[in-house]
Amino acid sequence: AQSVTQLDSQVPVFEEAPVELRCNYSSSVSVYLFWYVQYPNQGLQLLLKYLSGSTLVKGINGFEAEFNKSQTSFHLRKPSVHISDTAEYFCAVSEDDMRFGAGTRLTVKP
Amino acid sequence: DAGVIQSPRHEVTEMGQEVTLRCKPISGHNSLFWYRQTMMRGLELLIYFNNNVPIDDSGMPEDRFSAKMPNASFSTLKIQPSEPRDSAVYFCASSLTGTAEKLFFGSGTQLSVL
């Protein structure tokens, strides 16, 4: 079965700095990859997804992710973060069903 | 559309009591998922349905947990009897046609078992 590993449980950064949240996956077949964001006391919302085609995927709120098949990675990036980006971010892989990573808490400090 | 609707928003109960969590998926969505979120284990898939049929319930912790989807617009997750270790946030999500599609999440049910 597929699985996802998010390498950082917490990432603190200063406002307007770039950020990268790391995600590695394992799967025996072609997969679909997703990044979701969770704000406090809310459900998850989709940031972006990779199904096929271009390996660089652009999502909402200025986020983008790059699918790297050789490294089995799908890291999330943003060139300049805002205070409002403070949230929990989940990487997910879909094969037979949707499996989520443990999450990375991004804290943006002024 | 109002999105995925879960009820109750919060549930506090005593150990041994039966707990029923409810979910109304987005109209027209064919797949429904139940997840449990805790600090220790993150977001765990409990069960998912496709066209009201349970496809994979391997994530259901034990026999105390059961889920039903009697029709396309309603699902329940029942815990009987409940235990303190069941305390978590339970999320319901739906998608149009399965796991390759975007999941739409409800706001969750915060369950506390005392």
Which residues partner with A78 through β-bridges?
A19
d(CA B19, CA B87): 11
A77 inside 8 A of chain B by CB: no
- Taking CB atoms and an 8 Å limit, are B107 and A90 in contact across chains? no
Q: Do B103 and A101 touch (CB under 8 A)?
A: no
Q: What is the mean pLDDT of chain B?
A: 92
- Residue B101 reports pLDDT greater than 80: no
Neighbours of A39 (CB within 10 A): 13
Burial bucket for residue B93 (CB in 10 Å: 0-12, 13-18, 19+) = buried
CA angle A91, A57, A105 (to 5 degrees): 30
Q: What is the DSSP letter of B81?
A: S
Tell me the three state secondary structure of residue B55: strand
Q: Which of A22-31, A49-58, B25-34, B76-85 has the lowest mean pLDDT?
A: A22-31
Of all residues in chain A, the one with the smallest CA distance to B9 is A41
Residues 6+ apart with CB under 8 A from B60: B46, B47, B66, B67
Q: What's the distance, CA B65 to chain centroid?
A: 10
Flag whether pLDDT at A96 surpasses 70.
no
B110 or B99, higher pLDDT: B110
Each residue's pLDDT tens digit, A50-81: 988 888 999 999 999 999 989 999 999 999 99
Q: How confident is the model at residue B99 (pLDDT cuts 50, 70, 90)?
A: low
Question: Bigger pLDDT: B100 or B77?
Answer: B77
For an interface test with A, which of B26, B94, B99 has the most A Cβ atoms less than 10 Å from its Cβ? B99
Closest in B56, B102, B103 to A96, CB measured: B56
* pLDDT at res. A31: 78
DSSP B96: S
Q: Residue type for A91, please? A: C
SS3 at position A95: coil
Q: Where are the alpha helices (DSSP H) in B16-89?
A: none
My answer on whether omega of the bond before A79 falls inside 30° of 0, hence cis, is: no
pLDDT above 70 coverage of chain A, percent:
97
B34-68 residue pLDDT tens: 999 988 888 899 999 999 999 888 889 889 999 99
Residue B97 has pLDDT above 80, yes or no: no
Chain B residues closer than 8 Å to A104 by CB = none
Closest to B96 measured CA to CA, from B28, B23, B4: B28
User: What average pLDDT does this structure show over A13-37?
Assistant: 90
